[in-house]
Amino acid sequence: MARVHISIDRLRGKPRDRPPRGVSGEGETCPKCGTHFRAEELVRNARVCTSCSHHFAATARQRLDALADGGEWSEPWTDLRAGDPLRFSDLESYTSRVAKAEAKTDGSGEALSVARLEIQGHPAIAAAMDFGFLGGSMGSVVGEKLARASERAAESGLPLVVITASGGARMQEGILALMQMARSVVAYETMADAHLPVIVVLGHPTTGGVWASFAALGDVTYAEPGALIAFSGPRVIEQTTREKLPDDFGRAETQLANGQIDAVVDRRELPHRIGRVLAILERPRGLEAPPAFVWAQERAQWAAQTLPTLPKRLADRIRGDDGAQG
Amino acid sequence: MTARRGRRFVRRLTDRISSKPPEEEETTWQTIQLVRHPERPYTLDYIDRLFSDFEELHGDRSHGDDAAIVAGIARYGRGAVAVIGHQKGRDAQDRVFRNFGMPGPEGYRKGMRVMGIAERLGLPVLTLIDTPGAFPGAEAEKRGQGVAIAASMRTMLRLDVPVIAVVIGEGSSGGALALGVADRVLMLENATYSVISPEGAAAILWRDAAKAPLAAAAFKPTAANCYRWGVTDVVVPEPAGGAHADPDEAARLLDGYLHRSLRDLAALEPAERRRVRRERYRRIGAHRELALGDGATMITPPRSSNSDGATAEPAKEKTD
């Protein structure tokens, strides 16, 4: 684990010393309610508007910080970079686009960052996407990092938490980008083999090949308020079918009503909600007696404790039905 | 030409094409036009010719029946297989009925249902890929287009029975890959396989749909390139002029490769097949590791034993 980052909470005591990482000097205005925030103010609130709860876009590392909620974490595999098998160029060459995007990532180098961290005291491997990096698109590096994250989680017996924010497969990597969809499913199979949970949080937006692969296959799936979740985006649908779509098309709240996700969860509530799920699933492993044995034991225990307290007629009847149990 | 000489000629031709990437004699755009030729054989045309009997099964058992995907059980040689494929329409009315080969979630769920039958009964699964993409529509989204595609890939990854996918026409986007996770991926000589259609890419990347030929060339979606990158395992030759020129011959050529692939796969233990299938998709992609030297480690997927120079050494796994 190459780099250690101190999370924003460490800085809370002395907020003016230096701004939290990934924060430029300028503030931002909430597009929904017009409230103006200083940059560090916003980051400290997990980049959620304090007055109207609008969720601002966040970088992968800001998302991981919010999830770790004050804890330290480190990021492996920051040296992975995209190849350019197609030598792709549209209005600009792919290598130049990647280089520009990379310069903005503060070191993680791609559209997905992985961390080992603790969520409300529960250790987990987390992977978060960065929409700012070429639209959070999934290329070979995203696929490779996700696969490694699941392998690391399976080796360590830890759950995997995945936070998405992506327009879909990275077109500039052509067919190999499409194949990353299948690769991401392999990653989840690694988790399933180890009987370990995958919790997915869908950020804004989660569309295309990302929604149609690992984003849709979580054991538990949450979405941030207002996140667009769709295989085909509204523009593509309107162009292809001439349908006029309602404003709430594909939004997290709509997809909840459609039965596509489990809950809409405020970003500030995520550590708590995910922590609760992890607490439920965190059970001693390898200590379980075979079910049949446990069942017989429980029955004997119940009979010994409860039968004497029951009215005699009922107790006799149960003993009679149940052979030698009493 | 006698029949015997003809066969030998075809065998030489197929050996040549399958043992090394075929020459790119046509430009990519010509391939796109060829793959969209109105007479090009579709899934049902191959089913008619490959199988002595086919029982089509309908419906996903929860919403409806999607005509853009055809699925069923078929007699193949002395055995039986489950077949699932995208289906396009031939005339105007049929095209609408088949929704231009663009499935909704019902189609993929029907496919998964038939894969379930195959798994229970021990039938190999054969998929035929030919779609401009999954249908983009509000209703499809509501019923879980994304989840259906993802679940279909997961289902295919888990099957114990042999799985063979054949790209017979247009293989575009997740709508194609949803049926494409297999032990062996075959691709017809003039088929295309791409992350997005040329028109879609042109509209997004060049902001001009008329730039489709340019986009097609940039994506290099041809059989030769897909083979070189390890996305497919076999390039199946088509009759001179393309599959539409002689659908019977196209099916006959496919039959040979299909038969051989099935025989090879049947020799493996189910657990081994599953492991290798998974490993294939675990490794697919191309990235660099800066610490190992710039550009030193292109990862391409492993190929089966008849590998040639197209496969690079797998990169060394670093432990951080």
Write the pLDDT tens digit of every residue in A259-301.
Answer: 999 999 999 999 999 999 999 998 766 555 556 677 788 888 8
Restricting to B residues 226-255, those with a Cβ less than 8 Å away from any Cβ of A are 226, 229, 231
Residue range B120-128: average pLDDT?
A: 98
Tokens representing A141?
Answer: 């590096």
B213 in reach of chain A (CB within 8 A):
no
User: What does pLDDT average to over chain A?
Assistant: 88
B143: which chain A residues are within 8 Å (Cβ-Cβ)?
258
Cis peptide before A308, with omega less than 30 degrees from 0? no
Residue A201 and residue A308 in one domain: no
pLDDT in tens, A169-186: 999 999 999 999 999 999
Q: What DSSP character marks residue B202? A: I
Q: Would the pTM of this model clear 0.90, i.e. be above it?
A: no
Q: Are strands A112-119 and A160-166 parallel, antiparallel or unpaired?
A: unpaired
Top mean pLDDT of A75-79, B148-152, B287-291 is at: B148-152
Name the residue of chain B whose CA is nearest to A213's CA: B150
The answer for B 267-286 residues in CB contact with A (under 8 A) is 278, 281-282, 284-286
Residue A171 forms part of a structural domain = yes
Domains and CATH numbers, chain B: 11-283 (3.90.226.10), 285-320 (no CATH)
Q: What is the pLDDT of residue A8?
A: 43
Q: How confident is the model at residue B315 (pLDDT cuts 50, 70, 90)?
A: very low
Co-location of A206 and A295 in the same domain:
no
Please tell me the predicted confidence (pLDDT) of residue B17: 47
The shortest CB-CB distance from A178 to any of B142, B146, B177 is to B177
Å between A174 CA and nearest CA of chain B: 5
Do residues A251 and A315 share a domain?
no
A174 in the same domain as A274 = yes
Q: Give the Cβ contact number of residue A136 at 10 Å.
A: 26
Residue B298 contacts A, CB cutoff 8 Å: yes
Chain B CB within 8 Å of residue A71 CB: no
Owner of token pair 């951080």: B320
The predicted pLDDT at position B167 comes to 98
**Whether B225 and A76 lie within 8 Å, measured CB to CB:** no
Mean pLDDT for the stretch of residues A125-133: 97
CB A153 within 8 A of CB A189: no
Question: A261 and A304 in one domain?
Answer: no
Please tell me the total count of domains within chain A: 2
Interface A:B, Cβ pairs < 8 A: 198
Separation CA B75–CA A286 (nearest Å): 47
Give phi and psi for B133, each to the nearest 5. 140, 165
pLDDT at B228 over 80: yes
Cβ separation B195–A174 shorter than 8 A? yes
- The answer for A 264-323 residues in CB contact with B (under 8 A) is none
Domain assignment present for A89: yes
At residue B201, the pLDDT reads: 87
pLDDT of residue A13: 36
CATH number of the domain where residue A211 is located: 3.90.226.10
Region of poorest pLDDT, from A216-225, A251-260, B172-181, B203-212: B203-212
**In which domain, by residue range, is A187 found?**
57-281
